[in-house]
Amino acid sequence: MGSSAPPPFDAWRACAIAADVAAASLADDAGLAARQRSRLDALLATAARDSPLYRRMLRGRDTSTLALQQLPIMHKATLMGRFDDWVGDPELRLDALRSFIADPARIGKPFLERYTVWESSGSSGEPGIFVQDGAAMATYDALEALRRPALRPLQRWLDPWGLEERSAFVGAVGGHFASVASIERLRRLNPVLATCMHGMSLLLPMPELVDRLNALAPTVLATYPSAAVLLASEHLAGRLRIEPREIWTGGETFSPAKRRFVQAAFGCPVADSYGASEFLSLASECRLGHLHLNSDWAILESVDEYGRAVPPGVMGTTTLLTNLANHVQPLIRYDLGDRVTLHAQACACGSHLPRIDVQGRADDTLHLRTARGDTVSVAPLALSTVLEEEAGLFDFQLIQRGPRELLLRTGMSGADAGPVLQRAREMLGEFLARQGAAGIRIRCRADEPAQAGRTGKIKRIVVAR
């Protein structure tokens, strides 16, 4: 199903979407609302025509006058369980897609010659597979290129494609995740970028990761906030000798204190963004550091535990996403799981795109003591990747109870729980040994669902205090 040919790319469509994104960036509230309603009408009409699931749901209803709130809330587990009925192309089959993403060599390659495919990490307990057509990818490309802040405006003008940069992405690079799949797609589209963009695994032992970064000397560093903090510490200790000119983060909550620490350590600007496997480029920062939702292409509803909209300025229990760019796999009132605050007040930067605050992942970094008394720090996303991708455990909470003691618990029960936990303990122990923390005690418990913290959001990697 994979192809050695470059991913499909329609230059005319890409230019048209980019022109609209540029124009909408300057639009007023009415202009943004008109774009949103027009695209919602088109999405609903396409879903009613092409998706068997939505064809039944929307039968007999006028989609041009339908209020979004009249439709049911959809959950990942439900949709994945009815995948072949959900998608709008009968050639898309879940078994074939699972076979495709099982092969790391296919990362960034097109599926059926026309689709970009990636998987979610399973952080909400249920991994998903997401298929993007050419129009969706052109939209994400335009939003990434035109709405992210210009940390170095002059360099953006002199080198708009970043061909003179050396970019390093430090993250989960061994699976078909959105970040690495989109990077590999760009590398395949433009061979020149293949020499400029590099991915490095967050699972590498820190000394090896530091050596690789020192050898590359990236001018642009992209990673998760927790990893950025660890790399900043390595830089201050004198082991990491890179001098990036800008740092991009995403995927986790980035507290102001941690952001100031990273920025001060590297002495360069830092920008955060908000995206998801379900929509790659949901929000970008303005010059004042506020996140602005790309509301011309995505609708977010912040709701309470009963699915009712919360007032502006109030953080909901969860957030519903409607992706207006992806018609082949309709995501309409999809429970994203993040907690978002939508603000009614206009931002002082002048943009009419809605300002939002996001409470995303806020897992803890583990600091483990080695047998010699040294300390090894491990980023939470590295631990999640090992447990999900190598051990196949998605329902878990890992708690550090002491300098050399961990508790791994899962809501799984029954005969299957024991073997899965045993494999997870073995894989986790091997990973920690590679990090220099061999002999850590890992206790396991089944039939213990993860416990939410005071924010109501479940932390999967926790340091007990």
Q: What is the pLDDT of residues 128-142, one digit of tens each?
A: 999 999 999 999 999
Nearest CA-CA partner of 91 in 141, 133, 154: 133
| CATH 3.30.300 domain residues, the chain | 366-463
| Amino acid 455: pLDDT | 38
Tokens coding 353: 């795109």
User: Which residue type is seen at 402?
Assistant: G
pLDDT at 426: 95
Tally DSSP H helices, then E strands, for the chain: 15, 20
Q: Does 422 score more than 90 pLDDT?
A: yes
* Range in 194-203, 233-242, 410-419, 444-453 with the lowest mean pLDDT: 444-453
Q: Name which of 318, 248, 325, 334 is nearest 294 in CA terms.
A: 325
Residue with tokens 């660890």: 230
| CA neighbours closer than 13 Å in the CB half-sphere of residue 140 | 26
With H, G, I as helix, E, B as strand and everything else as coil, classify residue 57.
helix
451: confidence class by pLDDT, cuts 50, 70, 90? low
Say which CATH architecture domain 11-287 belongs to.
Answer: 3-Layer(aba) Sandwich (3.40)
- Tokens (6 digits) for 352: 């009419």
Quote the CA–CA distance of 445 and 18 in Å, as a whole number: 51
CB 174 within 8 A of CB 201: yes
366-463 has which CATH code? 3.30.300
In degrees and rounded to multiples of 5, residue 240 shows phi and psi of -95, 115
307: pLDDT strictly greater than 50: yes
Assign 161 a pLDDT band (cuts: 50, 70, 90): low
CA contacts within 13 A on the Cβ side of 401: 12
How far apart are the C-alpha atoms of 322 and 361, rounded to whole Å?
21
Is residue 281 a contact partner of residue 260, using CB atoms and an 8 Å limit? no
Question: Do 379 and 318 form a contact (C-beta atoms < 8 A)?
Answer: no
Global model pTM greater than 0.85: no
pLDDT winner (highest mean) among 40-54, 143-157, 247-261? 40-54
Residue ranges, comma separated, of all CATH 3.40.50.12780 domains in the chain are 11-287
